[in-house]
């Protein structure tokens, strides 16, 4: 369970993008975050994912404060960034494989899960193509496949349908 309590967050020395935000993410629920561009949606997701340290307030996971992204990864908080966050020089399958293995899945099992997830998203034919050679839509689906394959406790998806 992910909790944000009176969090203010900003980039560098710039003024805070979000002020005094409190959010509770309950298990098994889908939370949609909408707002106009520049409102701070991505900032909020980044703070939840552990990429941004809050200036005020705290972000807690299962009761414990969130330290950084690696801590968030340990707590299985999966992030699908707005720009997809894929490695262009790896194939679609390798992007998933690397993330799965880093998450502790055994390599043969990771291969199986990768193939299954890519198939699910209609990317079976693109699995061995370098990401940089895929179309924008295919890249987006690859990022989503990775996010889903990681089977995190919390999945944060930033503008995945645009």
Partner 1 sequence: MLTVIWGALAARRAQALAVLLLAVLASAAAAAAPSYVAAAGQALARYEVSRATPNELRLRLADPVEYPGVPGDPARTPFADMVKKLTPAGFEVVLGAQSGGVAAGRDGTVTSSLVFRAGVCERVTVAGACPRATSRGQLPEVMVGTHTAARLGVAVGDQFTFGAVPVRVAGIYQPLDATDPFWLGAEYIRPAAAGPTGTSAVGSAEDAIFTAEAAPLTDDQAILYRSTADLYVTERLFDTRSVADLRAAVTVVTRDGSREGLGGGTSLSSLLDRVALQRGQLADGVTLGAGLLVLLCWLVLFVAVGSAADQRRPEQGLLLLRGVQRRRLWALAIGEHAIPALFAIPLGCLGGLTAATLLAAHTLPARADVTVDATVIGFAAIGALGALAAVLLTQARMLSAPVVDLLRRVPARVRGWRATIGDVVAVSVAVAAVVQLRSGGSPSGLALVAPVAGALAAGLLLARVTMIAGGAVGGALLARGRTAGGLALVQVARQPRFRPLIALLTVVVAMLAFTVATSEVASAAYRDRAIVEVGAPRVVEVGATSRSHLLAAVRAADPEGRFAMATVVTGSSSAAGTPLLAVDSDRLATVARPHSSYGMSLADVERKIRPTAPGAPVHLRGRLLTIVISASFDAEVFGGNRVRLAVTVSSANGTRVATSRQDIEPGRKGYVLQVPECAQDCRLVKIDIVAPVVSRNLEVRFEEMRTGDEDGEHETMVLTGAQFADITRWRLTDPDDTFLDATSGTDVALILTVPENRRATPAGIAVADAPFPLPVYLTRSTGTPLGGTHPYDGVDGTPTTALVGGVADRLPRLGGSGLVVDLEYADRLAVASQSGKEEVWLTGTAPVDVLDRLRAQGLVVQSERTITGVRQDFDRQAPALALRFNLFAALAGVLIGAAGLIAMAAAEQRARVAMLVALRRQGLPPRAVRGGYGLPAAVAAVSGGLVTVVIWLLTRSGQRLFSDGRSPVPLPDWPDVGRLLMFTMPTIALFALTAVVLGRVVAASVRRRSGR
Partner 2 sequence: MTAEPHDEPLTLARPAEGVAVTCHRLIHIYSTGTGDVVALSGVDLRISPGEMLALVGPSGSGKSTLVAILGGLMQPSAGRVYVGDHELSRLSSKGLAALRGATIGTVLQGAERNLLPYVSLSRNIWLAQRPAARLAGRRLDPPEAILDLVGLAGAGSRRVGDLTPGQRQRAALAQGLAAGPGLLLVDEPTSQLDASGRDEVLAALTAVNAERGTTVVVVTHDGEVGAQLGRAVTIRDGRVGAEGRNGRDFAVVAGDGTIQLPPETVATFPAGTLFEVDHTDQSITLRAVATPSSLGGDDGVARVGGEPRPSGS
C-beta of 20 vs 68, nearer to partner 1? 68
Q: How many residues bind partner 1 (CB under 8 A)?
A: 32
Phi, psi of 77 (to 5 degrees): -100, 110
Q: Is 138 among the residues that bind partner 2 (CB under 8 A)?
A: yes
- CA-based diameter of the chain, in Å? 47
- Which tokens go with 64? 């414990």
Q: Pick what 162 binds: partner 2, partner 1, none; C-beta below 5 to 8 Å, kind-dependent.
A: partner 2
SS3 106: coil
- Closest C-alpha to 134, from 76, 95, 77, 102: 95
Of the residues 5, 129, 152, 160, which one makes contact with partner 2 according to CB under 8 A: 129
Q: Is 137 among the residues that bind partner 2 (CB under 8 A)?
A: yes
Mode of pairing for the β-strands spanning 154-157 and 77-80: parallel
Of the residues 59, 110, 117, 154, which one makes contact with partner 1 according to CB under 8 A: 110
Q: Pick what 49 binds: partner 1, partner 2, none; C-beta below 5 to 8 Å, kind-dependent.
A: partner 1
């Amino acid at each position: 369970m992910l909790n944000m309590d009176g969090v203010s967050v900003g980039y560098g020395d710039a003024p805070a993008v979000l002020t005094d935000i409190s959010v509770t993410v309950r298990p098994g629920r889908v939370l949609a975050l909408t707002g106009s561009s520049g409102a701070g949606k991505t900032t909020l997701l980044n703070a939840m994912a552990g990429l941004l340290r809050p200036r005020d307030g705290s972000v807690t996971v299962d009761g414990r404060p969130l330290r950084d992204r690696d801590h968030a990864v340990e707590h299985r908080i999966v992030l699908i960034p707005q720009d997809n966050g894929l490695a262009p020089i790896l194939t679609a399958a390798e992007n998933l494989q690397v993330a799965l293995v880093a998450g502790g899945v055994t390599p043969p099992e990771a291969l199986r899960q990768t193939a299954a997830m890519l198939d699910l998203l209609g990317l079976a034919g693109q699995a061995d193509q370098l990401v940089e050679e895929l179309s924008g839509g295919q890249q987006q689906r690859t990022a989503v496949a990775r996010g889903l394959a990681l089977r995190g406790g919390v999945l944060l998806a930033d503008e995945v349908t645009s």
